[in-house]
Amino acid sequence: MSAIPAPPGARKRLAAFCSHGGSNFAAIADAAQRGEVPLEVVVMVHNNAQAGAKAKAIARGIPTEWVPGHACTDEEAHARRLLEILEGYRIDLIALAGFMQRIPTEIVRRYAGRMTNIHPALLPLFGGAGFYGHRVHEAVFAAGMKVSGPTVHLVDEEYDRGPILMQRAVPIHDCATPEEIAARVLVEEHRLYPETLGLLAQGRFRIEGRRATLLSL
């Protein structure tokens, strides 16, 4: 990763969406603040008043917006509220970082190619409905996998199915519990997510159907 800060105009404005601890959000925000990636994290949107991500945002001087899905009367109202925030902050890229709520279809369509998610396993294995949070690592452990690792993908209308931008294999053959797998994969998530977003911000991926190709410089 380059440590030469990009000029302000070249930085993409990013919104992070979080539900829980926000360690990925913090890794992205810190990489951006150190000037390692051409990004500016301008808002953290969360749906959980107790989200640990909130304290991390406050500590970094990043504004937060609380959008509890249940407080919106329907999907249309939910989409309207999110759009108001995204347009208000002039968002270029959305990074879902441990966000445990369905994103309204209208938002997914509007930000197609500009919304990413991180999944803590090597998709398309251990993904889709029912594979979230700790369940992913439990399934990886039960299957006796020798490698796991994070996947960063574009978000489309189906869970965990958008084009894969980057993946990184993490050896787990010596992990004795799903918790150990989770901890090891998380360390790599914190490297991979900022790096991938930096590449996306620079327009370095060519998307053809379900395939994303990293273009060389």
Residues taking part in catalysis: 119
Phi-psi region of 90 (alpha: psi -120 to 50; beta: other; left: phi over 0): left
The tokens of 88 are what? 């208000």
Minimum distance from residue 9 beta carbon to ligand GRF (Å): 29
The footprint of ligand GRF (CB under 6 A) covers 18, 20-25, 97-98, 118-120, 186, 189
Q: Could you tell me if 147 and 153 are in contact, meaning their C-beta atoms sit under 8 angstroms apart?
A: no
Pairing relationship of beta strands 211-214 and 205-208 according to DSSP bridges = antiparallel
Pairing of strands 115-119, 93-96: parallel
**Degrees to nearest 5, angle at CA 189 with 159 and 180:** 100
To ligand GRF, the closest distance from the beta carbon of 15 in angstroms equals 15
Residue type, 203: G
66: β partners: 46
Q: Which H/E stretch holds residue 151?
A: strand 151-154
Closest residue to ligand GRF, judged by C-beta, is 98
User: Which CB sits closer to ligand GRF, 45 or 118?
Assistant: 118
User: In the bound complex, what is the minimum distance in angstroms from residue 216's beta carbon to ligand GRF?
Assistant: 27
Q: Strands of 124-197 (E only): list them.
A: 147-148, 151-154, 164-167, 170-171
Residue 23 or 196: the one with the smaller Cβ distance to ligand GRF is 23
Our CB check for ligand GRF shows the closer of 6 and 54 to be 54
Shortest Å distance, C-beta 20 to ligand GRF:
4
In 71-127, alpha helices (H): 75-88, 105-110
Q: Which residue, 21 or 163, is less far from ligand GRF as judged by CB? A: 21
